[in-house]
Amino acid sequence: MCLRIIVRLGFKTQPIFLAKFDIFCYSMGVVLFYMYSQIDANKRKTFFLMAFFAVLLLAIGYFFSYYYNSLDFLIIALVISLGMNLASYFAGDKIALMTAGAEGPLKQTDNPYVYRLVENLAITAGLPLPKIYLIPDSFPNAFATGRDPKHATIALTTGLIESLENEELEGVIAHELSHIKNYDIRLMMVIIVLVGLVTLAVDMLWRSKFFGRKNSSEKTGGQLGGILMIVGLVLVVLSPIIAQLMQLAISRKREFLADADGALITRYPEGLARALEKINAYKLPMKKATNATAHLYLANPFGAQAGKGLAKLFSTHPPIEERIKSLREMI
């Protein structure tokens, strides 16, 4: 399409240039197509996850209520599921920032350089200016959070600001703005709370069984009772694992798209590629790195530990080398 437009406009170009330009335009078109598809998909996935985890908790609560002949467990599960969804949607960003030890929001007078970088790139991306927080950590890293572009926040570590050149820092900020634009932030924010609370709720229900009264004459006999007991135990054991696997599956895919979309904002893929190289060279983990929020960050916050053994297999991020290669193929 780009090639046809150039010919119609009457530009005199060399065949090699036309071929390269057409490939570039095609690549950008593919990125834009997937970007808008990702926005719709993320909105659907967010509400699907909230509904899925609510049903999962209610199923577990029903199992305990049936087996111990007490509605208390179902009521507890209902209260937890409602509170979990409300907290994940309206307070997930605050939980993520608090967990990371972020300080802010940043005012223009506090750090004019960072404030203007974020402001200019937000204008370029067509987004409202997000709140800016700083994380006092030497590990160069960043993340974005919030439920939508109007309620978004970007958090940057002090190590990131100190170690990156201007174009590299722009690449990182553009990457995070892409997560805001694509509504990745809402999906990943909800996951933080849901994954953590499902594990906590299952443990709470399991421990609270000691306070229930089992009616052995009605609930322990028969095939139905045995089947429900087996299903319930499977849910109790597998629900935290299912939650973690969903976290891993969703977070890996989005990084490549955010890298490409960020490169569209800055028009300079090499900036983010060089930033990722510097981040990859840093081996120490972040001071407040946790599994609950690891998927939010630009790079895995566990440093060199994330690339060893089973940690590499269950990493929330794709290998940085692959991301750098993809960015440089855009040049």
Q: Which residues are catalytic?
A: 176
- What lies within 8 Å, CB to CB, of 101 at 6+ separation is 135, 136, 137, 287, 288
Work out whether the CA dihedral 252, 256, 257, 262 comes out positive or negative: positive
Order of strands, sheet of 131-135, starting from the edge strand that comes earlier in the sequence: 131-135, 152-157, 142-146
Tally the C-alpha atoms within 13 A of residue 9's C-alpha that lie toward its C-beta: 9
Return the SS3 of 250.
helix
**Angstrom distances, CA of residue 2 to CA of 29, 68, 80, 184:** 10, 68, 53, 30
What are the φ and ψ backbone dihedral angles of 229, each rounded to 5 degrees? Answer: -65, -45
CA distance 294 to 171: 20
Q: Do residues 186 and 146 touch, judged by C-beta distance below 8 A?
A: yes
Burial of 4 (0-12, 13-18, 19+ CB in 10 A): exposed
